[in-house]
Chain A
Amino acid sequence: MKLKKALIQTTFAAIGLVATMAHAQTVVLYSSNNTETIETALDVVKKSAPNLKVQQVTGGTGSLMKRIQAEAKNPRGDVLWSGGFGTLGAYKDLLQPYKGPGLESIPPEFRGPNDLWVGTNVHVMVMMVNERQLKGNAAPKTWSDLMKPEWKGKFAITDPSKSATAYMLVYGLLKQFGKDGLEKIAANAVVTSSSGTTYKGVASGEYAVGLTIEYAAQEYVAGGQKEIKLVYPSEGSYLAPEGMFIVKGAKNMDAAKTLYNALMSKEVQEAELTKNFRRPTRTDIQVSKLTTLPDLKSIKIFPLNQDAASAEYEQLVALWNIAVSKAR
């Protein structure tokens, strides 16, 4: 009798195990975000979708997009998180339109055309200042300050052809100050080959100022590096929203949607804000309440058209390269 009971119990346990295994959904996430950002999100996702097994492939947005393009006939990835709006625009045929629940709280400027993609968070371009390296000089207040001769060789900017955020920054400078202003900036700047080099360089004192992304700079402030300050240029800053999409023909479509919804949830966006200083695109999160960062409304923004920015890619990069080589 005892044996029989034990047998039945084992059988049920086995069935239960098989059932949960069958229930576990796998989704392949392509991401250009750093491990910490992904971890933060997935820790929250684990609570809302415990059966979702997320496999990650990380790399630069460009190389991931090339990969999705190469795999188009037999997609190996399901969701891409995240790339600049301009970059995504160039690959419209590869994206699956999807409108998840609760997207109403995302302003239209942070959403892709026909729900092809959606902004998970938005970068603000700032000046990251290392006061120790200023050696007593005043920090710049505006973009035009950096066009003055005394700033030559003292600030870093990332090559716009190497980084999508740097591209938006340079595009903004061109739109706001014209070719002339862009040339003046290029003449003074130290050009780095990745956005990481710029902010790490300022943090480690290699450059006094870096034109970079708000969250990256804020991490050093929050980490207790007292000499690091963020300057929001009074002429207006530029926004670079980061987009997420589902790959067209994704093998794990249902799991992809689950992940997509989870990543857009208020919980994930709040966690990303408080832990990694990623500004949410959702309007129902008040940034200044949760962090020391100012609300988006209180920052002066110079508006940019993301689609136009991607259309003008070739010209801008060419213009920039000429400006840089002129300065050398």
Chain B
Amino acid sequence: MKIKWWPWGFLTLICLVLLGFFVLYPLATLFSNSVLNDEGSFSLQAFVQLLQDSEYVKAFWNTLILGFSVTLCTVLIGVPFAYMVARYEFPLKNLVAVLPILTIVIPEIIVGQSWLLVLGNNGIVTNFFADRGIELPSFYGWTGMVFSMTLVYYTYIYLGVLAALRGFDGSLEEAGLSLGTSPLVTKWRVLVPVMLPAVLVNALVVFTLVVGNFALSMLLGSRVPLLSVMTYNTFVSEMGGSPALQSAMSVVSIVIVAIVLFVQKRVVERKIYTMTQGRAPAPERVKSWASALFTSTVGIVILASLLPLIVVFIAAFTATSGPVMQWGSWSLDSLTRAIRHAPEPIINSLQFSSIATVVGVAFAVLVSYLTIKKRNAATQLLDYIVVLPLTISGTVLGIALVQTFNTGWLVLAGTSGIMVLAYAVRRLPFAVRNATSTLFNIPESIEEASISLGVSPLMTFFKVILPAMKASLISAAILMWVTTISELSASVVVYSGGLETMPIAIFRQVDGGRLGLASAYGAALVTVILVPIFVSIKVFRINLFSSK
């Protein structure tokens, strides 16, 4: 393929340089730090130290086990749920439309904290039963982590499978039935191949999210050693940790995700079936007993997803005495204190995520345009590099950025630049995926028509392509904005004085045992997120989670 240098080749080069500097270079620094000892010469000492540390080896296995069990649970919940919603009509069904919004908008740190308030060893429900002589099992450790992570991540499976089912050609199933195959066998043989790629792709996403999960692991993990928590603890150790050890730990978690990503890609690529014409069968109305069952299932799931919000708002108004919550007596103290201190973190959060969103979405549009409409060898490379951040958990990304931009000619550590960078890099793959999906649907002929009318390629991009992408750009921007505004794992590593964001403020309060104050911050954060989302959905009439 011949590369046309102006303008696309030139822009590709710029993108490659930027990604090289802000994604590849930090990763390379991390890898090289992991094999350098204090004197700066090559040494595998850090890895040997990890191998000999029984606690670390345990954390390694625990992380894998947790990853697989949460992924399994999300599949077990997400798939039937999607099937139910795609195929059946029942009362309250439209409620499920808010599910993805709930799980994505409520920051994980708030989810973890509110489950602790309810089911923790000193939680409301736990104490209620304890007072009646019933000991609930401890929520800390495996139970709590699998439970809360499943509840947070199953939407990924649900949305993916739902999209696959909606694009599914109903006549296939009819064909199967008319050939005399029994309905169950037909469903199995026809539906499974369609859903499988969706399940596998999103299961991988869930797996990587679990491996990199920080907020829930940190809050609920306690006696279960996990990689993400250990890596963070080594980084913030009161005595100051060794960079080689931090890097070695980071490298291990990158490798885990990279391996899973590779395996998944091999498996999924062989299994993708393209539907020529997708006419999904109309949803059936279910019988009355089934409708009661379906509605109550949906109700329970919604309630469980919504509970963190309710708890946080109640706790924000509950009186506290130091770290102890005085349930039942109300007070505005936590809220007043939060409001007195919140302006700075709120402004920071808004600022950083808005800049990151603008930068990220603009970059994503350019990259996806180049990789889809102007394919050549260089853009293919671009395509690969852009998904790299998927393999890096937030904590690891943070450590890589701090280690790289702490010294040298570009010092970003300690400035707001590093916060924006962390946000932008972390969410880049998602923004690109979002932009890419609409570009596929824009026919080449439109562009060709414009160019043949004498409009330059660049102007065509701005005048024809961008307007066509508008709707998906807005939804991509909103998603990026929401996810960065509740981002914790990378920012808690790179932040410094004056750069505190809301999730960090909440994390620090939870860490210090101040659940009441943390809830007040949480209530403020959720309001800050929800109001603009609600307004933009109403104003732009955006379907945030369209199945495409």
Collect the chain A residues with CB atoms within 8 Å of residue B171's CB: none
Of residues 69 through 91 on chain A, the ones whose CB sits less than 8 Å from some CB of chain B are 70, 76, 87
- Which B residues touch A60, using CB under 8 A? 236-238
Closest residue of chain A to B323 (Cβ to Cβ) is A219
Q: Kindly state whether residue B137 has any CB partner on chain A within 8 Å.
A: no
Q: How many residues of A contact B (CB 8 A)?
A: 49
B229 contacts the other chain (CB 8 A): yes
Give the Cβ gap from A164 to chain B, nearest Cβ, in Å: 5
From residue B68, how far is it (CB to closest CB) to chain A in Å? 24
Is A200 part of the contact surface with B, judged by Cβ < 8 Å? yes
**Which of B255-263, B387-395, B511-519 is the contact stretch?**
B511-519
Q: Are A194 and B233 in contact (CB under 8 A)?
A: yes
CA A219 – CA B515 in complex, angstroms? Answer: 14
Task: Name the B residues within 8 Å of A220 (CB-CB).
Answer: 322-324
- CB of B233 within 8 A of CB of A204, answer no
Identity of the chain A residue whose Cβ is nearest the Cβ of B324 in the assembled complex: A223
Interface membership of chain B positions 42-83, coded 1 if the CB is closer than 8 angstroms to chain A and 0 otherwise: 000000000000100000000000000000000000000000
Q: A206 contacts B322, CB within 8 Å? A: no
Q: B233 contacts A162, CB within 8 Å?
A: yes
Interface contact B233-A222, CB-CB below 8 Å: no
Check A236 for interface membership: any CB of B closer than 8 A.
no
A30 proximity list for chain B (CB < 8 A)? 497
Question: Per-residue 0/1 for B232-268: is the Cβ within 8 Å of any A Cβ (1 yes, 0 no)?
Answer: 0101111111000000000000000000000000000
Tell me whether B322 and A62 are in contact (CB under 8 A): no
A261 lies within 8 A of chain B by Cβ:
no
* A164 close to B121 (CB less than 8 A): no
Q: How far is it, in angstroms, between the C-alpha of A313 and the C-alpha of B237 when the chains are bound?
A: 14
In the assembled complex, the Cα of A60 lies from the Cα of B508 at a distance in Å of 12
Q: Name A34's closest neighbour in chain B (CB-CB).
A: B512
In the complex, the chain B residue whose C-beta lies closest to that of A193 is B233
Residues of A within 8 A of B320 (CB): 223
Assuming the contacts A28-B497, A35-B508, A192-B222, asked whether A164 and B322 have C-beta atoms less than 8 A apart, the reply is no
B120–A36 CB distance below 8 A? no
Give residues 140-159 of A contacting B (CB, 8 Å): none
* B429 contacts A by Cβ under 8 Å: no
Residue B296 CB within 8 A of the other chain: no
Chain B interface residue count, CB cutoff 8 Å, equals 38
Is A190 on the interface with B (CB-CB < 8 A)?
A: yes
Q: Are B513 and A199 in contact (CB under 8 A)?
A: yes
Q: Is the CB of A36 within 8 A of B497?
A: no
Residue A197 is within 8 A (CB to CB) of chain B in the complex = yes
B324 touching A36, Cβ below 8 Å: no
Q: In the complex, what residues of A have CB within 8 A of residue B223's CB?
A: 190
Q: Is the CB of B238 within 8 A of A162?
A: yes
Interface pick from A15-23, A51-59, A251-259, A262-270 = A51-59
C-alpha spacing A239/B326, complex, angstroms: 32
Contact A206 B323 (CB under 8 A): no
**A36-B511 Cα distance, complex, nearest whole Å:** 13
Contact B238 A325 (CB under 8 A): no
Chain B residues, CB < 8 A from A163: 238
- Per-residue CB contact flags for chain A residues 207-233 toward chain B (1 = under 8 Å, else 0) read 000000000000110111100000000
What mask results when residues 292 to 328 of chain A are scored 1 for a CB within 8 Å of chain B, else 0? Answer: 0000000000000000000001000000000001001
Q: Give the chain A neighbours of B324 by CB distance below 8 A.
A: 203, 219-220, 223-225
Q: Does A65 contact B (CB under 8 A)?
A: yes
A66 touches B240 (CB 8 A): yes
Is B178 among interface residues, defined by CB-CB distance under 8 A?
no
Distance to closest chain A CB from B242 (angstroms): 11
Q: Are B321 and A162 in contact (CB under 8 A)?
A: no
A205 interface contact, C-beta 8 A: yes
Interface 1/0s, chain B 205-235, versus A by CB < 8 A? 0000000000000000011000001100101
Which chain B residues numbered 464 to 492 have a C-beta less than 8 Å away from chain A? none
Known: A55-B497, A56-B497, A206-B140. A62 touches B237 (CB 8 A): yes
- With both beta carbons as reference points, the residue of chain B lying nearest to A161 in the complex is identified as B239
Task: Enumerate the 7 nearest inter-chain pairs by beta-carbon distance, A residue then B residue, closest first.
Answer: A57-B497, A223-B324, A62-B240, A205-B121, A60-B238, A223-B321, A219-B322
Can you sample 7 A-B contacts with CB below 8 Å? A58-B497, A63-B237, A87-B238, A162-B233, A205-B121, A219-B324, A224-B326
